[in-house]
Amino acid sequence: MSSVEKQAIFRDVPGFVPKRPSFGQKIWRSRADYLYVAPAILVMLVVIAYPIYYTIELSFFNTPASLSLADKQFNGIDNYVTILTSPVFWKVTWQTIVWTVLSTFFAFLLGLGAALALHREFVGRALLRGLLLIPWVISAVAASYVWKWLYHSDFGAIGAALVQLGITDRPINFIDNSTSALYSLIVVNVWKEFSFAMIMLMAGLQTVPDSLLRAAQVDGANPWQRFWHVTFPHLSGVSTVTILLLVVQNFNSFIIPFIMTGGGPVGSTQIWITHIYELAFLRQRWGVGAAYAVLLFIIMMTLGYFYVRALTRGDESRAGA
Amino acid sequence: MTSETVNSAEPVRVARRRGIDGWRWAGRIFLTLLVGFTIMPMFWMVITSLKTGFAAMQYPPQWWPASPTLDNYWRLLDPNGSVGRDFLRYFWNSMFVSVATTVLAVLVAVPAAYAFSRFRFPGRNFLFFAILLRNMFPAVVFLVPLFILMRVLGLVNTHGSLILTYLTFGLPLAIWLLKGFYDNIPIQLEQAARIDGATRFQAFFHIVMPLSTPGIIATSIYSFIGAWNEYIYAYTFLTRHDQMTLPVGIQRFFSENATDWPGLMAATFLMSVPVVVLFLVLQKYFVRALTEGAVKH
C-alpha cells in the first residue's frame, strides 16, 4: 500500500495527523509508482535528452562534412555569429513569420467558422465533419503532390479553371514564381490543417452553457452579441491551446515546402526548418545547422512554456487520488 | 391580459427569427464553400488517376475523363510488374512500421498515463511536462543526433530505427490523451474493487482498462496515422530501396524522368485509403479523445 493510499484511508480518522515526509522518503515511498512511467521515461531519455545534448554540443564545433566526430574543432560562438550576420537568416526568418502567422490566422478563422456552422444538429453533420477532416488525416506528402499537380504551370486545374471562368488571360504560375510561391503554399497548409482547429473548437463550443445563451437571447442580444459576449469568452481556453499548437506546427513545417518547391524559386519559400535541413544535410554544414536548431529550441521552449501552462490549467484540482 | 402579452411579444420574435435565419444562411453558404475547397483537390486527384498519361497532359484539361481507365491502379497493385512489386513492398513496409509503432506506443503509454493520472510521486509534474514538450520540437532538430544514435545501436537501414523514433513522437500525445481518459474515470470504482480484495493490478485490469477502451482506440488511431504519414525520418534513415515506406517510396518512383501524374495521383489515393477509412470508421473516438484534454469539464 503506498503512502498516498494510506493517507487517503486515514484522512478522516479523528486525530490522524499526516507526518511530513522528507523528499528522499517521498521518493522511496513512491518507488513503485516510478515503475509505471519508467518505460516511457527511458524511451524519451534515449531519444530526446541525448539528441538535445548532442545538438548543443555540435553547435559550438566545426565538424567536417563527413560527420566524423573525432575531427571536430571547437570554434566558440562562430556558428551563431555566422547565422546572425547572414542576410539569408533575416530573409528566411521573415518568410517563416509570414508563413506561420498567415497559416495560423486563416486556419483558425476557417476552423472557427466551420465549428460554429457545424455546432447545430442537422442531418449529415457527422458526414460533413468527417469530410472536412480528411485533409488533416492524409499524409502531407500526398497533399503536396496533389496540390503540386493542381498548381502545375501548364496543365494545372486551378490555372485552367481561372482562364475558363475568364478571370485571367493565361494560366497563373503559382509556385514557379517567387512572388506568389509562398502564398500558394500557405493555401495548401491552411487546407491541410484548418480542420484541426475545427474539431478543437467544436469541443470547446460544447462547453458553452445553453442557459447563458438563452438568457442573453431573452435579454435581446442579437446573434453577433451572443457570440461575442457569451460564446467567445468560453472559447478562450481552447482557442489558446489551438493557436499555440498551430503556431508550433507551422513554425516546424517541412514537408509542404520541401516537396512542392524545395525552398525555391530563388529561396522564396525557404523557411527555418527547410533551411536547417538544407544547411545540414545538403551542404553538410553541421555546426551551423546545429546552432540554428539551438536557436529554434529556445523559441520552442518559450512557446512550450505557454503551451504546458494552457494545457494543465486546473489539472491539479481535477485529478483524482 | 394574455392577448396583450402575445401581441407585444410577436414583433420581437419575428425579428429575432429573421436575424437567426440570416446567420444560418451565412453559415450554410460558408460551409458549402468550405466543403468545395476541401474536396476539390481530392476530387481532382481521383479524376486524374482515372486518366491515361496522354489525357492528363491536355490543355484545357478534361474536367471529366473522356475514357476513364483503372490501368494506373492495376499497374500499382500488380505483384508481377516492377512498379507494382515496389509499390506493394512500400505499402507492406508502411503497414509493418505503423502497426508495430502503434502496439508499442499503447503498451508503453497505458501504464505511464495511468501513473500520471493516479499517483503523486515527486517529479511527476516535471516528467509530465518534459514528455509533453517533445511535441514542440521539429523532427529536423533530432535528425542528426538520432542518425548517429541509430548508427551506434546498429539500426540504420532497419525498420527498428523508424519504430523507435515514431514511438517518441507518438508517446507524448498518447500519454496525454490516455491521462485525460483516466482522469475522468472515478477513483471510487477502483477503491471499491480494492476493498473487495483486488490487487492494484487487478483493479486496473478489470475496472480501468475496459472503461478506457475508447481512449486506447483513439490513441492507436493517432499513433497509426502519425507513423503512416511520417516522411522526414524515413527519408533520412532509410537508404535501401526495399526498406522504404510509402511517403518516401512514391517520391522515388515518380520524380525520376518525367513525372507520371496519373500514376502518382493513383499512388497518393491508395496511400490515403487506409488512414481515411480507419479514421472515418473510428472518428468519434478520435475526435472525443483529441479534444478531451483541451476542454475542461
Residue A229 scores a pLDDT above 80: yes
For residue B67, give the DSSP letter. S
CATH number for position A296: 1.10.3720.10
* pLDDT at res. A279: 87
- Which residues lie across from A62 on neighbouring strands? A73
Q: Does the pLDDT value for residue A116 go beyond 80?
A: yes
pLDDT at A16 over 80: no
pLDDT at B89: 92
Burial A223-234 (b: 16+ CB within 10 A, else e): beebbeebbeeb
A138 located within any domain = yes
d(C-alpha A132, C-alpha B32), whole Å: 11
pLDDT at A157: 85
Contact in structure between A298 and B164 (CB atoms under 8 Å): no
Q: Which carries the bigger pLDDT value, residue B27 or residue A46?
A: B27
Residue among A43, A138, A167, A253 with most chain B CBs within 10 A, to mutate:
A138
Look up the pTM and report it. Answer: 0.83
Is the pLDDT at A316 greater than 70, yes or no?
no
| Total number of domains in chain A | 1
CATH superfamily of this structure's domain B71-292:
MetI-like (1.10.3720.10)
Tens-digit pLDDT profile for residues B239-252: 888 889 999 988 76
Domain that holds residue A279: 87-147+181-315
| B89-102 residue pLDDT tens | 999 999 999 999 99
Interface membership of B129 toward A (CB under 8 Å): yes
Residue A20 CB coordination number (10 Å): 7
Q: Which among A129, A164, A320 has CB closest to B183?
A: A320
HEC states along chain A? CCHHHHHHHHCCCCCCCCCCCCHHHHHHHCHHHHHHHHHHHHHHHHHHHHHHHHHHHHCCEECCCCCCHHHCEECCCHHHHHHHCCHHHHHHHHHHHHHHHHHHHHHHHHHHHHHHHHHCCCCCHHHHHHHHHHHHHCCHHHHHHHHHHHCCCCCCHHHHHHHHCCCCCCCCCCCCCCCCHHHHHHHHHHHHHHHHHHHHHHHHHCCCCHHHHHHHHHCCCCHHHHHHHHHHHHCHHHHHHHHHHHHHHHHCCCHHHHHHCCCCCCCCCCCHHHHHHHHHHHCCCHHHHHHHHHHHHHHHHHHHHHHHHHHCCCHHHHCCC
Q: How confident is the model at residue A10 (pLDDT cuts 50, 70, 90)?
A: low
Contacts of B264 in chain A (CB under 8 A): 145, 149
Q: Which grid cell is A316?
A: 491539479
Angstrom distance (rounded) from CA A233 to CA A216: 14
C-alpha cell, A159: 490555372
Position B8 pLDDT exceeds 50: no
Which of B21, B37, B140, B224 is the best mutation test for A, with the most CBs of A within 10 A? B140
Q: Kindly state whether residue A50 falls inside one of the protein's structural domains.
A: no
Question: Residue B66 above 80 pLDDT?
Answer: yes
Contact A141 B247 (CB under 8 A): yes
Contact A33 B295 (CB under 8 A): no
Dihedral pair phi/psi, residue B62, rounded to 5°: -75, 110
User: Which of B30, B42, B137 is the closest to A300 by Cβ?
Assistant: B137
Q: Across all residues in chain B, what is the average pLDDT?
A: 81
In a domain, A171, yes or no: no
Residue A76 lies in a domain: no
**Parallel/antiparallel/unpaired status of strands A73-74 and A61-62:** antiparallel
Residue of A137, A297, A304 with shortest CB distance to B141 = A297
Interval A48-65 mean pLDDT: 82
Residues of B in Cβ contact (< 8 Å) with A248: 135-136
DSSP characters for B168-224? HHHHHHHHHHHHHHHHTS-HHHHHHHHHTT--HHHHIIIIIHHHTHHHHHHHHHHHH
Contact B96, B222 (CB under 8 A): no
Please determine, for residue B67, whether its predicted confidence score (pLDDT) is greater than 70. Answer: yes
For the cut 90, the answer to whether the pLDDT of residue B42 exceeds it is yes
Q: What cell was used for B47? A: 479524376
Residues B47 and B53: their CA atoms lie apart, in Å, by 12
**pLDDT band at residue A52 using 50, 70 and 90 as cut-offs:** confident
Interface probe with A: pick from B38, B76, B212, B236, most Cβ of A within 10 Å? B38
Is residue A186 included in any domain, yes or no?
A: yes
Rounded percentage of chain A residues whose pLDDT exceeds 90: 21
Helical residues (DSSP H) of chain B, grouped into ranges: 2-49, 53-56, 71-77, 82-118, 124-133, 139-153, 159-183, 187-195, 200-203, 209-211, 213-229, 232-237, 246-255, 261-281, 283-292
Mean pLDDT of A13-24: 64
Say whether pLDDT at A239 is over 80.
Answer: yes
A233 grid coordinates: 469568452
SS3 of B123, please?
A: coil
Task: Please determine, for residue A232, whether its predicted confidence score (pLDDT) is greater than 80.
Answer: yes
Reported as a single tens digit per residue, the pLDDT across B179-234 is 878 888 888 888 888 888 888 788 888 888 888 888 888 888 888 988 999 998 89
A245: confidence class by pLDDT, cuts 50, 70, 90: confident
Whether pLDDT at A7 is above 60 = no
Whether residues A206 and B231 touch (CB distance < 8 A) is answered with: no
A117/B38 CB distance under 8 A:
no
B30 touches chain A (CB under 8 A): yes
Are B287 and A203 an interchain contact pair (Cβ–Cβ within 8 Å)? yes
Least confident of B44-53, B195-204, B280-289: B280-289
pLDDT at residue B271 is higher than 90: yes
Query: Residue A283: what pLDDT?
Result: 85
Collect all residues of chain B within an 8 Å Cβ-Cβ radius of residue A286. 144
Average pLDDT score over residue span A45-68: 79
**Cα within 13 Å of Cα(A162), Cβ side:** 16
pLDDT of residue B273: 92
Rounded to an integer, the average pLDDT of B110-133 is 77
Question: Domain spans of chain B?
Answer: 2-49, 71-292
Please report how the helices A31-44 and B82-118 are oriented relative to each other, as an axis angle in degrees rounded to 10: 150
Nearest to B278 by CA among B233, B229, B208, B243: B229
Please identify which residue in the block is written with the cell numbers 508481377: B80
CA–CA dist A241, A314 (Å, integer): 14
Q: Span A257-280, mean pLDDT? A: 88
Question: C-alpha A123: how far from its chain's center?
Answer: 33
Distance of residue A178 Cα from the nearest chain B Cα, in angstroms: 22
What pLDDT shows up at residue A91? 92
Spatial distance between the Cα atoms of B243 and B93, rounded to a whole number of angstroms:
7
Residue B254 has pLDDT above 70, yes or no: no
DSSP letter assigned to residue B80: T
Summarised one tens digit per residue, pLDDT across range B131-161 is 666 667 777 777 878 887 888 888 888 898 8
**Among candidates A26, A195, A293 on the partner chain, residue whose Cβ is nearest the Cβ of B141:** A293
Question: What is the average pLDDT across A108-124?
Answer: 89
pLDDT for A26 equals 74
Q: Of the candidates B30, B130, B250, which has its C-beta nearest A113's C-beta?
A: B30
Q: What is the complex's ipTM, to 2 decimals?
A: 0.83
Which pLDDT score, from 0 to 100, does residue B255 have? 61
Query: Which among A132, A146, A199 has the least Cβ separation from residue B34?
Result: A132
For residue B149, the chain A residues in CB contact (below 8 A) are 46-47, 50-51
Q: Mind listing the pLDDT tens digit for each residue in A168-207?
A: 888 788 888 888 899 999 999 999 999 999 988 888 888 7
Residue A94 binned pLDDT confidence (cut-offs 50, 70, 90): very high
